[in-house]
Amino acid sequence: MHLAKFFHRAPGDDDRELMLIPGSEPMVIGVHMNWKGDPDADEFLRKTFSGIADAAAAFRRHVADLVAAGYVETVHTKYTLRDLPPDPPAKPEWQKGLDELMILALAAPMAEQAAQIEALRGTPAEHEPLYLWHAARRSRSAGLDAAETARLAEQARDTLLARRAAGKQHYAWSIYEGDLEGRILELLSDAQLEAGNPDAALKTIEHLCKIAPSQDRIIKRAELLCGYFPERQEEAFDDAYQWSRFGGYEEIMALPGYAEYEARRKAGTSRKGWRWRQGTPASEADINAVEQALGVRLPDDYRKFLLKRGETELLVRLPESSSELRFYAPEALTKQLHNLLGFIAYSDDEVEEACTYFRKEYGVSLKHLVPIAEPSQLSRCLLLHVEPGERFGQCFQWDHDGAWELEQQQPSFDVALKALTDGIARRDATQLAFFDL
């Protein structure tokens, strides 16, 4: 995390950036903006501190010194920015207040954070996801009703999602949107569990593990499964078996049943090597909505899969390795198609060129190749061709390293899925290669 402030002083030939960088060795760095000299000589300050409280105090002092010298803090927040325009707008006071709240969250007791939260109440800050997250943190720290903490965290999440959907900005200083969203969802999952709703807590942390996985989040998911969902305990054992070398799974590995599971995995006695994770079946309304967006009817075998399993994962569990094939929810298909087209072709002219190539080489419409699943941690996907006609319903494998290539053509979704699962059971190198196993 790099928390950056930018300062302008007319005529603008000596504008400044000041960064606070938390971590095990927190730092304060000062940079000359619009620098024309040696790129390695653009810093006017670089100091490391033994603790974040000292770094935060030094950061505030340097901010005050710049303001006293006639500099005005600007609205900019992107820490990689190196040029300011001639007359940049000044940062509003409520945004400065949110900055201070973030610094307090890093370096001050909750009582001081609570005072700043109250000071910002009634300002535009109180409608920002960053403020709502801090308010939820305060609620939990104060030991208030867990349902209230969950409500505030949900409000933070929903506000962030609503701004994103509407294409509107939110203010979170220099914190990446994904970072803030992850922090909100972690807190929300904890609050939902404390409020007695483990189902909601698991749903939240599972979503977070998909959009921004980390060791701590995967462990939290595994602990939830073991504590509240015994019928899914083996999924937690999967995680422990795969990731225990990084630590944190000791309690899970001490549970009755894990030793037997580990022995079974190592011996390869589960010959099939795959199973389905419990998914979220789609509704007819979900499918109808995506068909309307795509302008086509989906193949019957894939429709049946969505109604039975929906958004789910095919878990591949071999003696020495693991992977997952993640199947998208119907509402994600149009976005995945857009992402695929954007990766294959960067301009309208290139799109047309690519469409002509795919039609000639494979007999398919590039604009009707819908990504329906992807192996975890890999830039690959399973494509379903939905253009009406002779090749309707055919499936292909695709890899970003060969973006204009289609592989493993199959006549239908059901046949493609059976080829994958049978290939896993046979330990077929061609099918396992799709998972990088």
Question: Residues 254, 298: one domain?
Answer: no
Asked if residue 337 has pLDDT above 90, the reply is yes
* pLDDT tens digits along 179-236: 999 999 999 999 999 999 999 999 999 999 988 889 999 999 999 999 999 999 999 9
Q: Are residues 141 and 247 in the same domain?
A: yes
Question: Crossing angle of helices 129-141/93-107, nearest 10°?
Answer: 40
Among left, alpha and beta (phi > 0; psi -120 to 50; other), residue 393 is left
Q: Do the domain assignments include residue 273? A: no
Q: Over range 86-111, report the average pLDDT.
A: 95
Average confidence (pLDDT) over 56-74:
96
Residue 145 has pLDDT above 70, yes or no: yes
pTM confidence score: 0.80
Percent of the chain exceeding pLDDT 70 equals 99
Q: Give the residue numbers spanning the domain of 8.
A: 3-91
269 falls in which pLDDT band (50, 70, 90)?
low
Residues 107-138 have pLDDT tens digits of: 999 999 999 999 999 999 999 999 999 999 99
More reliable by pLDDT, 143 or 190: 190
The residue-averaged pLDDT of 2-20 equals 93
Q: Are residues 428 and 293 in the same domain?
A: yes
- Give the number of domains in the chain: 3
Does 312 map to a domain?
yes
Query: Domain ends where: 232, 267, 302?
Result: 267
The answer on pLDDT for 403 being more than 70 is: yes
| pLDDT recorded at residue 322 | 86
**pLDDT confidence tier of residue 270, bands split at 50, 70 and 90:** low
- Kindly report the CATH number assigned to the domain that includes residue 413: 3.40.1580.10
Residue 20 shares a structural domain with residue 50? yes
Is 77 found in the same domain as 175?
no
- What Cα–Cα distance (Å) separates residue 225 from each residue in 46, 205, 234, 235? 46, 11, 9, 8
Give helix 146-166 / helix 177-194 axis angle, nearest 10°.
150
pLDDT band at 334 (very low <50, low <70, confident <90, very high): very high
Q: Is 102 within a domain?
A: no
d(CA 420, CA 125): 51
The per-residue pLDDT for 199 is 95
| pLDDT value of position 56 | 96
Q: How far is CA 339 from CA 46, 286, 334, 342, 385, in A?
A: 40, 20, 9, 5, 16
Mean pLDDT, the chain, integer: 93
Range name among 80-84, 148-152, 280-284 with the lowest pLDDT average: 80-84
Q: H-type helices in 1-91, by residue range?
A: 52-68
Long-range contacts of 252-256 (CB under 8 A, 24+ apart): 252/222, 252/223, 252/226, 255/226
Per-residue model confidence as pLDDT tens digits over 225-268: 999 999 999 999 999 998 888 899 999 999 999 999 999 888 87
Nearest C-alpha neighbor of 31 from the set 12, 47, 15: 15
Q: Considering 239, 267, 295, which residue would you say is the last residue of a domain?
A: 267
Question: Residue 14 domain-assigned?
Answer: yes
Judge whether 274 lies within some domain: no
Above 80 in pLDDT, residue 43? Answer: yes
Q: Is 97 a domain residue?
A: no
Q: Read off the CATH number of the domain in which 197 is found.
A: 1.25.40
Q: What is the pLDDT of residue 137?
A: 95
- Whether residue 367 sits in one domain with residue 403: yes
What pLDDT score does 39 carry?
80
138 and 259 share one domain: yes
Would you put residue 19 in left (φ > 0), alpha (ψ -120 to 50) or beta?
beta
- Are 298 and 341 contained in the same domain? yes
Are residues 199 and 324 both part of a single domain?
no
At 27, the pLDDT band (50, 70, 90 cuts) reads very high
pLDDT for position 354: 92
Q: 232 and 299: one domain?
A: no
Same domain, 409 and 332: yes
Q: What angle do CA 197, 286, 299 make, to 5 degrees?
A: 130
Q: Where are the alpha helices (DSSP H) in 167-315?
A: 177-194, 198-211, 215-228, 233-243, 250-253, 258-267, 284-294, 300-308
Q: Are residues 250 and 314 in the same domain?
A: no
Kindly tell me the sign of the dihedral angle through the C-alpha atoms of 354, 359, 361, 367. Answer: positive
Mean pLDDT confidence for 80-87: 89
Extract the tokens encoding 341.
Answer: 């087209």
Query: What's the pLDDT tens digit per position in 347-368?
Result: 778 889 999 999 999 999 999 9
Judge whether 106 lies within some domain.
no
Whether residue 122 lies inside any domain: the answer is no
CATH of the domain at 49: 2.20.140.10
